Structure 1
């Protein structure tokens, strides 16, 4: 599934109508969550029936396209199913009990409720919310795809405006020449990553660089009167700068991942969630560690892994996620365990091996990947036998290999 995003251009009244559609989708989702809380054993079909009752009871819900309401129900049930799955798997800590949404930012249509113009540069929403015709600003060309291939259309609100996303059912493969190279990567905080060849990618630290400006914008928000127009403007400026930092981080991860995948036939990398467990952290609970939380968030490990897997599928390369347990403790030369704290950045072994801590870990990660990837000798003799057979499912071990997964929101 490919996603093509365009900037939506319209009038102020149309933007207000989009906000109303987003609030309606939030209302339907929260009502479904409340219905599930109050009624034991409720399934997805029961939530669909409850949505029908909501459309009959509230006129503003009926004004929203029926497929958009169904999508809100599916989002509610997705959080419920995830909660049940976490309980069944006995995941330690919080299980992700479904919560009510306060600030919804998108509404999703299926195959009805919208119509593209002949030039594919304009889209008209035909439900009774009054959104109407929006101009699409962007470089993507939708004329390469049939209308039947567009499975979903999203309206997304961000700090810098409104966007329209098209989810297209199409393959995205690129033929690439085999390089005969394999590489191991170890992510870190000092350097963005260190590979098994000793190269260290600098960590740009976009958030750290922008902290001075963020503090200034936050003070501007604090000095304005609550509920005033100036406060809304100050909040919007702050949100725009946060959005800029997140985009910088995402683009950096995308660029680096593309270069790594194009230069190698096999890429072994650290399982980012496992790396956080090694530090007694979780990505979703980073704020509990005030020493490393900001740095780990700023590094963007998850984005890097996400794009590695995406480009691995796109270019037909092998990507393997490795649990980093003891990878920095074991000597890459003799296998001896040399215990060291996080502050010790150099690996020194009695066999005479002296390496940077992350370099040593990257070599061990590559060795683990090669030892568990199957017929490695066949791959070395025939690089064309790579394909997309081995990107490990997020959070799974190497013994639970699965076909490469493509996330719905990726495009290129």
Structure 2
């Protein structure tokens, strides 16, 4: 599944109708979740049937397209099924009990409720919400695909406007000649990563560089009166600042991951648990700013596209083990050079990258896949599962600033 994204333009009344459609979709999703909480043994088919009950009881819910209501019910069931899966796996700590949404920013249509123009430059939403015809602006050409291949259409609201996403049922594959190269990657905070060949990539630190502007914009929001027009404008500016940083991170991760995958046949990297690492309050901001998780997701995605092998290895003792003789050489985090009794003297990160590569070559097949495909904040081609709702994909695209 490919996702093409276009920015849309229309009248203020149309954007008001889009806001109403998003609020209705949120209402349907939360109502389905409440129905699951109040009734035992409810499955996803029961939630789809419950959408008809909501449309009968609430006129504003009936104005939304029936398949859009079903898509909202599927979002509720996606959160429920994830909670069930975590319980079955016996995950320690919180299991991710489904929560009610407060600030949803997207609504999803299936095969009905919209009609694409013949020139593919505008789209008309035909439900009773009154959205009407919206102009599309983007670099992707929809003429290469049939209308029947478009399985989902999403309206996504961001700080800088409203975007439309088209989920197209087609597999993306690119054939490249084998390069015969293998590489191990050790990510870090000083350098973005160091590979097994000794090459280092500078950490861009987008949040650190833009932190001064973010703080100034946040102060302007706090000084405005709640509910005033000036506060709303200040919030919008702050949202655009956060959106710019998130797009910079994604652009950097996409380009870097594509370059790594296209240049090597086997790529090994650490199977890091970012959720546990950010519990260190001293390094949490720097770890989140590095966006290692997003880089790994794109590595695995391009690995599937180019049919290359990507392997996630256990990171335990990769910084302590000697890449030459295998002896454990204990060192503190401040020690940046690996020196072993066997005579091996390397940079700490380069030594770890060689250990990661050796462990990855001992693993057969493609491992470490999350089951989460990357989002398309910049209109890039992305992968998703046909006929399924990916809340991670939606949330990463539309929730660039949780504080807003």
TM-score over 0.5 for the pair: yes
- The answer to whether the aligner puts 1:57 opposite 2:23 as a matched pair is no
Is 1:366 aligned to residue 357 of structure 2?
yes
1:407 aligns with 2:383: no
Residue of structure 1 equivalent to 2:285: 294
Two-structure CA RMSD over aligned residues (Å): 1.4
Inter-partner Cα distance in structure 2 for 1:181 and 1:408: 25
Rounded to whole Å, the distance in 2 between the matches of 1:60 and 1:237 is: 31
Match of 2:369 in 1: 393
Which residue in the other structure is 1:69 paired with?
A: 69
* Structure 1 residues 254-296: Cα deviation after superposition (integer angstroms, max 9, x where no partner): 11111111111111112232xx37xx43xxxx3x432011001
**Matched-pair contact (CA < 8 Å) for 1:153–1:165:** yes
Match of 2:362, SS? helix
5+ residue gaps, structure 2? 382-404
- Following superposition, the deviation at residue 353 of structure 1 comes to 1.4
Secondary structure of 1:213's match?
A: helix
Which stretches of structure 1, 4 residues or more, deviate above 4 A after TM superposition? Answer: none
Partner of 2:138: 138
In the other structure, the counterpart of 2:193 is 193
SS at match of 2:31: helix
Residue 326 of structure 2: aligned partner: 335
- Paired residue secondary structure (2:35): helix
Residue 210 of structure 1 aligns to a residue in which SS?
helix
> What is the CA deviation profile of residues 134-190 of structure 1, one whole-angstrom value per residue up to 9, with x for unaligned ones?
000001000000111101000000000000000001121122121110000011111
User: How many Å separate the matches in 2 of 1:25 and 1:323?
Assistant: 41
Contact 2:311-2:363 within 8 A present in 1 as well? no
Contact 1:309 1:391 in 2 (8 A): no
> Secondary structure, in 3 states, of the residue corresponding to 2:289?
helix
Identify which range, 19-28 or 345-354, moves more after superposition.
Answer: 345-354
Q: What is residue 376 of structure 1 aligned with on the other side? A: none
In structure 1, list runs of 5 or more residues that go unmatched.
374-388, 395-404
Tell me the TM-score normalized by structure 1. Answer: 0.89
**Equivalent residues of 2:9, 2:134 under 8 A apart:** yes
Instruction: Supply the distance in 1 between the matched residues of 2:163 and 2:346 (Cα, whole angstroms).
Output: 48
Provide Cα deviations, 1:201-229, integer angstroms capped at 9, x if missing partner.
00000000001001110111011100000
C-alpha deviation, 1:349, in angstroms: 1.5
TM-score (norm 2): 0.91
Counterpart mapping for 1:168-317 below 5 A = 168-273=168-273, 276=274, 280-281=276-277, 286=278, 288-317=279-308
1:78 partnered with 2:45: no
Q: Alignment length, in residue pairs?
A: 378
Deviations 1:3-52 (A, max 9, x none): 00000110100001001000001001111111111222222122122222
Moved more, 35-44 or 82-91: 35-44
Secondary structure at 1:272 match in 2: coil
CA contact (8 A) 1:310 1:406 kept: no
